[in-house]
């Protein structure tokens, strides 16, 4: 269904000036079930924005609506001041929107470095990548510019110690960082992370959070962090949206969200 709205609906002037990604009036139905109803959300330039909520709140549906995987019943998505509501996933990616997935899929037999080389060539040397994949000889030697970009990602994400190990054999925490690296290789303006801490222990979660802060500060990449781990989100986000039963029930700074009664009720229930 084709849906759209004029830029500025449900958004004040400050949101329009600062937001790199925003959505207004997002409504999604699955048959007779209303999954999202008139949801507004925005990601400001150079900021980490959290989207949290209990299981079944509609987080994944909203995430898929923003990235183009989920059709809308109503509403609009704007990216870099352009209406992308009806753009396909690959067109949003080409425009500078990258995402990760809840369950990273690593290629068996490829090292961490080779995963990042593949992602880099997909961005910079697409024809060379396909030649490498189909000539039976593996990856041809990287040139100096490619090496520089890949090494920078390895350093940024603190993967140097495992760079030459098979990615598929690594612990889940490391594979999630590889997934982030593959997304960053596309040189996005905004990175959408889908439950990146799922399955991680406390130490791995801290390492991931530190890496995301480094990415944001060193590369000025805006982020939308869709998470079930409220403590992680509150620890690194500039702004947080809380979703429950398909509605945004609270928006604000981590301090505000931590003390909001509606959020406490959504997560803890009535006492």
**pLDDT per residue over 232-261, tens digit each?**
999 999 999 999 999 999 999 999 999 999
Instruction: Name the residue with tokens 């880099």.
Output: 120
Burial of 56 (0-12, 13-18, 19+ CB in 10 A): exposed
Give the C-alpha separation, 121 to 110, whole Å: 15
Domain boundaries 13-106+170-268, corresponding CATH code: 3.40.50.300
**pLDDT per residue over 12-54, tens digit each?**
444 456 899 999 999 999 988 999 999 999 999 999 999 999 8
pLDDT for the residue 32? 87
Question: Would you state the structure tokens that stand for residue 49, as one six-digit string?
Answer: 């924005």
Q: Is the pLDDT of residue 64 over 90?
A: yes
Question: Would you state the structure tokens that stand for residue 96, as one six-digit string?
Answer: 């500078």
pLDDT for the residue 133? 58
pLDDT for the residue 105? 86
DSSP per-residue letters across the chain: ------TTTT--HHHHHHEEEEEEEEEEEETTEEEEEEEEEEEETT-EEEEE-STTSSHHHHHHHHHTSS--SEEEEEETTEE-TT--HHHHHHHTEEE--SS--PPTT-BHHHHHHHHHHHHH-HHHHHHHHHSSS-PPPP-HHHHHHHHHHHHHTT-GGGTTSBGGGS-HHHHHHHHHHHHHTT--SEEEEESTTTT--HHHHHHHHHHHHHHHHHH--EEEEEES-HHHHHHH-SEEEEEETTEEEEEE-HHHHHH-HHHHHHHH---
Instruction: Name the residue with tokens 């992602």.
Output: 119
pLDDT for the residue 12? 45
- Sheet containing 74-79: order of strands: 33-44, 19-30, 74-79, 82-83
Give the C-alpha separation, 132 to 139, whole Å: 5
Domain boundaries, the chain: 13-106+170-268, 107-169
**pLDDT per residue over 149-174, tens digit each?**
999 999 999 999 999 999 999 999 99
Query: At 211, phi and psi to the nearest 5?
Result: -65, -40
Q: Is residue 257 within 8 Å of residue 240, measured between CB atoms?
A: yes
Of 1 and 105, which is predicted with more confidence? Answer: 105
pLDDT for the residue 18? 84
Give the C-alpha separation, 240 to 224, whole Å: 9
């Amino acid at each position: 269904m084709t849906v759209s709205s004029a830029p500025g609906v449900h958004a004040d002037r400050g949101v329009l000036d600062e937001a790199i990604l925003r959505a207004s009036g997002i409504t999604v139905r699955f048959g007779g079930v209303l999954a999202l109803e008139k949801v507004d959300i925005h990601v400001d330039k150079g900021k980490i924005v959290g989207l949290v909520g209990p299981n079944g709140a509609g987080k994944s549906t909203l995430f898929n609506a923003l990235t183009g995987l989920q059709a809308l019943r109503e509403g609009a998505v704007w990216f870099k001041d352009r209406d992308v509501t009806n753009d396909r996933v690959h067109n949003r990616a080409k425009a500078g929107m990258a995402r990760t997935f809840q369950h990273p899929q690593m290629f068996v037999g490829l090292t961490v470095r080779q995963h990042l080389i593949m992602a880099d060539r997909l961005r910079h040397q697409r024809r060379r990548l396909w030649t490498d994949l189909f000539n039976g000889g593996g990856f041809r030697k990287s040139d100096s510019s490619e090496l520089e970009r890949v090494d920078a990602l390895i350093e940024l994400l603190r993967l140097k110690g495992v760079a030459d190990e098979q990615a598929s054999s690594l612990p889940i925490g490391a594979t999630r960082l590889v997934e982030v690296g593959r997304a960053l290789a596309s040189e996005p303006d905004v990175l959408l992370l889908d439950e990146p801490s799922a399955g991680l222990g406390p130490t791995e979660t801290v390492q991931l959070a530190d890496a995301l802060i480094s990415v944001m500060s060193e590369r000025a990449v805006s982020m939308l962090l869709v998470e079930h781990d409220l403590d992680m989100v509150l620890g690194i986000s500039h702004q947080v949206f809380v979703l429950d039963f398909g509605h945004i029930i609270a928006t604000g700074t981590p301090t505000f969200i931590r003390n909001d009664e509606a959020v406490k009720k959504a997560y803890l229930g009535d006492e």
